[in-house]
């Protein structure tokens, strides 16, 4: 079987107990690894690792000992329960023993999970898994995750999100690579501790590396340099930074300033801030004051709603106007 989209997401989450195996392939090694991890956990169960019901090898080992894959697939484990043979990083040159093992699979054998890099349509490895009636071939590409995948990731972390937080999570799913996105959801689940997470919580947990490219324009706005906004926006647009991502990070920054202004200073922020960024934020808190920070947050919320609405206004222009207005507020 060749699975895509919702069918692939369902297979990863709820694989049939009689599955012979799956080939997961794609250029993004992290994306492939996450899906392989999910599938093995759902095929073999949470105790499979401890009960030694998972056999691991790589493509080179399978090629050097052609019988190893079949032997592992047919072996009887000490503990009862479903078993998995995982062969990592198989190339076309190493495919022969894997294809032979899949052809020899019979009910009661371990499921065969194989990962590979990019594979052409003419790949013999792909053809073997696509043609097998009880196996699946799933190609993973750089497309943003669909709603079903995001729903599954949220459910896996036990997260509860309000409407604004869910929209922010959907944006991060398109902006971050799969590993960073899952780590962000994990941090958000720990931070919210079973409570419903808000837009501000999502903004606070977004990775700092993702914000780094946006930092300069947020500082320019917060410190009153409107003349710097235009050139910085042009640079960010050229880098493909999304306007909604900019409003998320700007909102988080001004929320932190407001929290510091109302809570006794930057030193009381959670998580704490150190280094040059702390000095800059202390300077901004003194310059803005609580009232203007609240007006800045109102402006950012209005901008966020405009960006998410059906408005036909150019989104980068809307965001640039908001940054200029913030910078003029800072100057006053």
Strand partners, 85: 55, 112
Q: How confident is the model at residue 127 (pLDDT cuts 50, 70, 90)?
A: very high
Q: What is the pLDDT of residues 239-251, one digit of tens each?
A: 778 888 888 889 8
Residue 137 has a pLDDT of 94
Shared domain for 83 and 204, answered yes or no, is: no
Strand partners, 155: none
Shared domain for 232 and 122, answered yes or no, is: no
Write down which residue in 139, 173, 200 finishes a domain: 139
Beta strands (DSSP E) in the chain are 2-3, 21-25, 54-58, 84-88, 111-116, 135-139
C-alpha torsion sign, points 225, 226, 228, 232: positive
Tell me whether the omega of the peptide bond preceding residue 271 falls within 30 degrees of 0, making it cis. yes
Domain count, the chain: 2
Q: What is the pLDDT of residues 58-72, one digit of tens each?
A: 989 989 998 999 999
Q: What number of CA atoms fall less than 13 Å from residue 65's CA on the CB side?
A: 10
Residue 102 has a pLDDT of 93
215: helix, strand or coil: helix
Across 92-112, b (16+ Cβ under 10 Å) vs e yields: eebbebbbebbeebeeebbbb
pTM for this model (two decimals)? 0.54
Domain containing residue 232 = 147-331
Strand partners, 112: 21, 85
Q: Encoding tokens for residue 278?
A: 């702390």
Shared domain for 131 and 158, answered yes or no, is: no
- Tell whether the model's pLDDT for residue 13 goes beyond 80: yes
* Percent of the chain clearing pLDDT 90 (strictly above): 32
Write the CATH number for 194.
Answer: 1.20.272.10
Helix (H) or strand (E) holding 18: none
Candidate ranges 9-13, 176-180, 319-323; pick with highest mean pLDDT: 319-323
Q: What is the pLDDT of residues 271-328, one digit of tens each?
A: 555 556 777 888 898 899 999 999 999 999 999 888 877 778 889 999 999 999 999 9
314 CB-near residues (< 8 Å, 6+ apart): none
How far apart CA 308 and CA 164 sit, in angstroms, is 10
Q: How confident is the model at residue 269 (pLDDT cuts 50, 70, 90)?
A: low
Write down which residue in 108, 139, 170 finishes a domain: 139
Shared domain for 79 and 224, answered yes or no, is: no
Residue 142 has a pLDDT of 65
């Amino acid at each position: 079987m060749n699975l895509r989209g919702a069918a692939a997401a369902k297979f990863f989450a709820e694989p049939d107990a009689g599955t012979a195996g799956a080939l997961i392939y794609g250029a993004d090694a992290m994306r492939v690894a996450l899906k392989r991890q999910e599938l093995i956990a759902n095929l073999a169960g949470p105790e499979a690792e401890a009960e030694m019901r998972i056999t691991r090898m790589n493509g080179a080992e399978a090629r050097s000992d052609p019988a190893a894959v079949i032997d592992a697939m047919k072996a009887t484990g000490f503990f009862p329960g479903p078993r998995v043979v995982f062969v990592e990083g198989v190339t076309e040159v190493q495919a022969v023993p894997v294809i032979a093992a899949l052809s020899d699979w019979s009910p009661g054998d371990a499921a065969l999970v194989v990962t590979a890099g990019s594979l052409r349509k003419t790949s013999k490895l792909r053809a073997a898994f696509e043609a097998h009636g009880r196996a699946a071939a799933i190609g993973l590409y750089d497309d943003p995750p669909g709603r079903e995948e995001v729903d599954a990731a949220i459910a896996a972390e036990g997260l509860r999100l309000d409407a604004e937080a869910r929209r922010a999570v959907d944006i991060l799913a398109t902006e971050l690579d799969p590993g960073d996105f899952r780590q962000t959801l994990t941090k958000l689940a720990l931070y919210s501790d079973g409570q419903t997470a808000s837009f501000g919580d999502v903004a606070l947990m977004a990775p700092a590396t993702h914000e780094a490219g946006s930092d300069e324009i947020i500082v320019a706005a917060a410190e009153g340099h409107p003349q710097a906004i235009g050139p910085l926006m042009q640079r960010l647009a050229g880098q493909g930074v999304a306007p909604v991502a900019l409003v998320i990070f700007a909102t988080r920054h001004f929320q932190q300033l407001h929290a510091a202004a109302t809570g006794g200073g930057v030193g009381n922020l959670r998580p704490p801030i150190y280094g040059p960024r702390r000095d800059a934020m202390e300077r901004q808190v003194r310059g803005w004051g609580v009232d203007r920070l609240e007006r800045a947050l109102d402006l950012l919320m209005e901008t966020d709603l405009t960006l998410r609405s059906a408005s036909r206004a150019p989104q980068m222009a809307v965001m640039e106007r908001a940054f200029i207005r913030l910078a003029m507020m800072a100057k006053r």
